[in-house]
Amino acid sequence: MDFAAGRMFHTFSIIGRCARTERLGIAITTGDIAVGSRCPYVTPGVGAISTQAATDPRLGPFALRLLKLGYSASRVMQELESSDPHIELRQLGLVDRNGNSAARTGKRNAEWAGHIARENFVAMGNRLAGEQVVKAMAAAFAQSNAEYLGERLLRVVEAGQEAGGEAPHGAKYHSAALLVCGSQGFPDVDLRVDDHPTPIVELRRVFDAYAPDIDFFTLRPNDPNVAIARRGT
């Protein structure tokens, strides 16, 4: 089926790296269900990529393998472009371990579609209300560099929503996700809202509840007695 004539959903995301801590992460929301299961990919100390629009979940792990082999962010994007026959239906953004970024918005993405790729971040989206959405996202990322990366990324998607979010008459929001990795071999944060009428609001609620325990869950694998009285799960 021609995707342009089939199911289409708005999506916007932020792929980011904290220059202070070298954490990598992604926040994303879309009009389809369970976006966290197929779009954001992060490998600690390697890079982060979101593959969206006509999503091919195979592209995320493939890109991260190339980054791990030492490919630059721009070279990885070239490899994705040359290997994918449906590249014009995709929207891809990635940031590597050093903060180099690359992005591509295919010509067959539903309007408005585009991206801003700068050092340490990519803000991008498709089927949006306008360019102001990604501009607001980029500004929110730049203005919050003193915050924990998960907080920064969540503020960015909130800013995108406040700037207009989805295109008029587009699919309503259904899901959102936040994925953040530090130097350990597992995520600091891996939160998903798979089906909700206001997923960004719900993601904020869950993140605010989870945030006080981020350090606890990060430290506990190496020190099972850390803050043991706080939580027993």
| Sequence ranges of the domains in the chain | 3-219
Write down the pLDDT at residue 25: 98
Write down the pLDDT at residue 168: 64
Cβ–Cβ < 8 Å for 115, 123: yes
**pTM for this prediction:** 0.91
Beta bridge partners of 104: 92
Write down the pLDDT at residue 229: 45
Write down the pLDDT at residue 3: 39
Bridge-based pairing state of the strands 40-43 and 24-30: unpaired
Write down the pLDDT at residue 173: 63
- Domain 3-219 fold is Glutamine Phosphoribosylpyrophosphate, subunit 1, domain 1 (3.60.20)
Per-residue pLDDT of the chain (233 residues; tens, 9 = 90+): 233 445 556 899 999 999 999 999 999 999 999 999 999 999 999 999 999 999 999 999 999 999 999 999 999 999 999 999 999 999 999 999 999 999 999 999 999 999 999 999 999 999 999 999 999 999 999 999 899 999 999 999 999 999 998 876 555 668 999 999 998 888 999 999 999 999 999 999 999 999 998 988 887 777 787 755 455 45
